Amino acid sequence: MVEVADDFDVAIAGGGIGALTAAVHAARMGRSTLVLGGRAPGGLLLSIERIDGVPGFPEGVAGYELCPMLQEQAADDGAEVRMAELEGLEPAGKGWRLATSDGDVEARAVILATGARLRTLGVKGEERLQGRGVSHCASCDAPLMRDRTVGVVGGGDSALQEALTLADAVGEVIVLHRGDALSAQAAYREPALAHPKISVRYATVVEEVLGDDAVSGVRTHDVASGETQDVELGGLFIYVGLEPNSEYLRGRLDLDDDGRVPTDATLQTDLPGVFAAGIVRRGSLGQAAISAGEGAAAAKAAHRYLNDGAGAEQESTPAASAARGNGGSHG
């Protein structure tokens, strides 16, 4: 018999903007709310020097400023935030028992907002030199690479946004892009192409990261000419897409081919009372404001589910009962 430490109306897995926004809204609707915030709160945004496109911050906002604010807001609204990971879930009564890195908990509704991590290249030398010149965090590691020439792998928004951050701090930035055109939005593409410290090598695939104790360069393959070349670099920043954090769902939920969680229009998954929000969700569009909006929508859907669905047949907290039938809509 597994001992269950706690019982919540809504448990939210994830520590990023999607999860923390869901927590704010679930707690404000009177639901006892637990956030399983993973190992470190903040998600992908935490290390971004200047997050663009978040309403209310016309000049952008630093991840290290925004992420603690989100967590504080969720806690102030009554959500309990624990630094624990969701490891699996199984039906229990009319809700779910969640196995976490901090013991089991139960919840009548669950919101999965576990986001994604940056993809690796999977080439020789990359893993060995991780933290020794290979990085996924421009704002953290740029100050250590002053005056060096560094490489950025990728051609999308993340790659060019981070190339611009790096260009403020390092000597030179070479963007290594496998395609023949950059896919980044104009707001990043144009300043990057105009920047005197940034150059782009197209049709270039990184085959190996070179260096003994630290990155000394990369071996590249030119897709057009077939030529191999060694490029001298003092650091390498990799932004070649995202890998959803959804492994803990395998065997419980059918994921799509990319590992993302399918939902219906109300953000409910195939499992009753289990919702998904943010970039772990199939069809989510990859911006912070969108993850936040989905988090709020999933909280609202979970609240409705608890009012109307199977979860409503169970006892809930007095605060939840008071909130029933009143989702607090501004609409």
Q: Which residues are near ligand FAD by CB under 6 A?
A: 13-19, 36, 38-39, 42-45, 48, 51-53, 85-86, 113-116, 118, 158, 161-162, 239, 245, 248, 278-279, 286-289, 291
**Shortest CB 145 distance to ligand FAD, Å:** 17
Q: Which is nearer to ligand FAD, 18 or 30 (CB)?
A: 18
Residue 173 CB partners (closer than 8 Å, separation 6+): 149, 150, 151, 152, 163, 166, 167, 195, 197, 198, 199
CA 21 – CA 289 distance, rounded (Å): 10
**Shortest CB 229 distance to ligand FAD, Å:** 26
Q: Which residues of 187-200 are buried (b: 16+ CB within 10 A; e: fewer)?
A: ebbeebeeeebbeb
Q: Which is nearer to ligand FAD, 13 or 210 (CB)?
A: 13
Q: Which is nearer to ligand FAD, 182 or 323 (CB)?
A: 182
**Shortest CB 31 distance to ligand FAD, Å:** 19
Residue showing the smallest CB distance to ligand FAD in the complex:
115
Q: Which is nearer to ligand FAD, 48 or 323 (CB)?
A: 48
Residue keyed to tokens 């509704």: 109
**Shortest CB 209 distance to ligand FAD, Å:** 19
**Shortest CB 234 distance to ligand FAD, Å:** 20
Task: Return the structure tokens found at 128.
Answer: 């060995």
Q: Which is nearer to ligand FAD, 81 or 306 (CB)?
A: 81
Q: Which is nearer to ligand FAD, 86 or 306 (CB)?
A: 86
**Shortest CB 141 distance to ligand FAD, Å:** 13
